[in-house]
Amino acid sequence: MRGRLIVLEGADGTGTTTQARTLADHLTSQGRTVHVTAEPSRGPVGVLIRELLGGDRPREHIHRELALLFAADRLDHVAREIEPELARGVDVVTDRYLLSSLVYQGLDSPLDWVATLNRHAPPADVTLLLTLPVELAMARVAGRAGHREVFETREVQQRVHRRYLELAPRVDAVVVDGQGEIAEVAARLIAALTAALTAALDVPLERAHGG
């Protein structure tokens, strides 16, 4: 049986990295084999993206390069890592995927162009979007060690939060409140994931019976 591609999305500071692991632990407890990954990937294109994101060039000067690189990295990520795991029957939980490109690269480039660049990326089985108040998310970002990336400013993140909610329907993302303790948020995500997977299983049955 083929594995399932499960995507966790959200603006910076919403907790996607932590909750990706929590989701994986839950799926493992259900007897599934799970592989956790993230974008940018750790492949060669992903490494270049991380260098650009943490570099000194303004976002406005590199937005086209980033849009192209993220699309290339996604296809490389799928070919190198995601697809082989899915083919083995492994569930893949990825921290960020297509919606992130539509949101972040869509800030500076035409949305239709960004979508076209990513048209060959296979759709996720489930996309979960974690949301938080902007101020809380930014406080978490400010508490991180290391150099601030080009998108991690208050003005940009305010736009990012709005765009995630606006564009969520394009990938059928399920919106989940990210406020509260880690266990509380995890419980909401697990409930949303269970409902989405159940609904996906019901679709073929309904069609088979003429629904």
pLDDT tens profile 162-186:
999 999 999 999 999 999 999 999 9
pLDDT bracket for residue 147 (50, 70, 90): low
pTM: 0.89
Beta bridge partners of 131: 177
- Does residue 189 carry a pLDDT above 80? yes
- Does residue 153 carry a pLDDT above 90? no
Distance of alpha carbon 144 from alpha carbon 11, whole angstroms? 15
CA atoms 116, 121, 127, 131: torsion sign:
negative
Distance of alpha carbon 66 from alpha carbon 17, whole angstroms? 21
Write out pLDDT tens, residues 102-128. 999 999 999 999 999 999 999 999 999
- Does residue 1 carry a pLDDT above 60? yes
